[in-house]
Structure 1
Amino acid sequence: MTHKLTFAALALAAATAAQAEPTTYQIDPSHTFVTFEVVHYGTSTVRGRFDKKEGTVQFDRAAKTGKVELTIDIASISTGVEAFNGQLVGERWFKATEFPSATFTGDKFGFTGDKVSEVAGTLTFMGKSNPVVLEASNFNCYLNPLVKREVCGGDFSVTIQRSQYGMTQGLPNIPDTVRLVVQVEAVKQ
């Protein structure tokens, strides 16, 4: 009987040790960018990015689970034209004084093999929250030779309807669809 209990205890201990633990990664702001793309009056594509962002990723590759929390500073918008940046953060467009940040919280990771292929969650922008799925076009983890830590990241994108967030300025001449592209790298803590 003792032999069976010892074997059962060892099996339970091995199973517990084999269970993966989520690892926390800090988003690297120097390698993470959130950009937007929208067609301007049916001609060219206007692009901009948000320069200030922060967040964390909890990631468990073995269990294929995770959680992302990303906060974007709306006033940090950069289109390359200072006067245009000022218009965009104003009351007609992003209303950055009233809504200073946007957040993405994702808690459903999809995988293709051992690579993250999508992250589903909620985008909160201009006081409204809607479900979104960020699809990965690239994902990888590597040992960073400078910081001597694992870094994971990739390129993700989603197309949203800006009117779902209360941004209706310029419709229909400036389309409702906006493509968001998230280039992210996060450092293991």
Structure 2
Amino acid sequence: MKHLLSLITIAFLSATTLAQTTWKADPAHTQVSFGIIHMGISEVEGKFDKFDGTIGAAEDDFSDAQYEMAIEVPSINTGVEMRDNHLRSPDFFDAEKYPEMTFKSTSSKKVGEDKYKVTGNLTFHGITKPVTLDVWYRGQVKNPQNGQVSAGFAISGNVKRSDYNLGPNFPEAVLSDNVLLDIDTEFKKQ
């Protein structure tokens, strides 16, 4: 009987693992953006041009989703080359020493219809801290041209640059400590 129970447990766990679907970020339809207040009067926006993201979920509504994202820090793009080079320097991201930023979720809590609070570890500039992001699952569509199924998400949150020792020589009067993250993305079903 004990042996039979073990076999049933293994079969159940295997079926659960097999039921999980993997989704990959579609770079052509994804933007990883940020905004920060400059001198207390204007918002400077930028984005990262190179990244990779994966979602694993067994539930159709993504209520059990696990999120992972890797961003290439040197791909930072604010539209001003001199500023981008400064942001890559040791004054800020130190992109040569810390070329990657990663996020890996640890929990997802449903807070409304298609709305979630996703908590995970954000690592960059050699520091890992937990952050909580707001995720809005926008639904799924099937591309009529190629049959590919895509899911849409709007992901946002705030990060304190002081938590990551980012630009420590630039006081809040010059750059706000609060950085807004804004990711608008499509993930393709694999």
Pair in the same fold by TM > 0.5 = yes
The alpha-carbon distance between structure 1 residues 80 and 18, as it changes in their structure 2 partners (threshold 3 A), is closer
Secondary structure of the equivalent of 1:85? helix
Match of 1:184 in 2: 185
Cα distance change on mapping 1:182 and 1:23 into 2, 3 Å: same
- 1:50 is matched with 48
- Please say if residues 69 and 103 of structure 1, whose CA atoms lie closer than 8 Å, have aligned partners that are also in contact: yes
The residue number in structure 1 matching 2:107 is 108
Structure 2 contact 114–136 (Cα < 8 Å) conserved: no
User: What's the TM-score once normalised by structure 2's chain length?
Assistant: 0.83
What's the secondary structure of 2:27's corresponding residue?
A: coil
Contact 2:51 2:72 in 1 (8 A): yes
Where do residues 34-45 of structure 1 align in structure 2 (5 Å cutoff)? 34-45=32-43
Cα offset for 1:137? 4.4
1:171 alignment counterpart: 171
76-85 or 19-28, larger mean C-alpha shift: 19-28
Amino acid at match of 2:34: F
Aligned to 1:4: none
- Structure 1, gaps ≥5 residues long: 1-12
Contact kept? 1:22, 1:66, Cα under 8 Å: no
Change (3 A) 1:176 1:35: same
Normalising by the residue count of structure 1, what TM-score does the alignment of the two structures yield? 0.83
Rounded Cα–Cα distance in structure 2 between residues aligned with 1:64 and 1:20: 17
SS in 2 for 1:103: strand
Per the alignment, residue 93 of structure 1 pairs with 92
Identity of aligned residues (%): 33
The whole-number CA distance in structure 1 between the counterparts of 2:63 and 2:18 is 10
Q: Which amino acid aligns with 2:176?
A: P
CA contact (8 A) 1:61 1:114 kept: no
Partners of 2:188 and 2:165 in 1: CA distance:
34
2:82 aligns to what SS in structure 1? helix
Q: Contact between 2:20 and 2:58, CA under 8 Å: does it hold in 1?
A: yes
Q: CA deviation at 1:17?
A: 7.8
Cα distance in 2 between the residues matched to 1:152 and 1:96: 31
Which residue number in structure 2 is paired with residue 117 of structure 1?
Answer: 116
1:121: Cα distance to partner?
A: 0.9
Q: What is the Cα deviation at residue 114 of structure 1?
A: 6.0
Judged with a 3 Å threshold, the aligned counterparts in structure 2 of structure 1 residues 113 and 91 are, in CA distance, closer, same or farther, namely closer
Q: What amino acid is the match of 2:88?
A: V
Q: Superposed, which structure 2 residues align to 1:2-41 within 5 Å?
A: 21-41=19-39
Larger radius of gyration: 1
Shift of 1:20: 8.5
1:133 aligns with 2:132: yes
Seen in structure 2, the aligned counterparts of structure 1 residues 103 and 45 have a Cα distance that, compared at 3 Å, is same
Q: 1:151 is matched with which residue? A: 150
Q: Do 1:117 and 1:139's aligned partners in 2 also have CA atoms closer than 8 Å? A: no
Cross-structure match for 2:80:
81
How much has 1:146 moved relative to structure 2?
A: 3.5
- The answer to which of 50-59 and 115-124 deviates more is 115-124
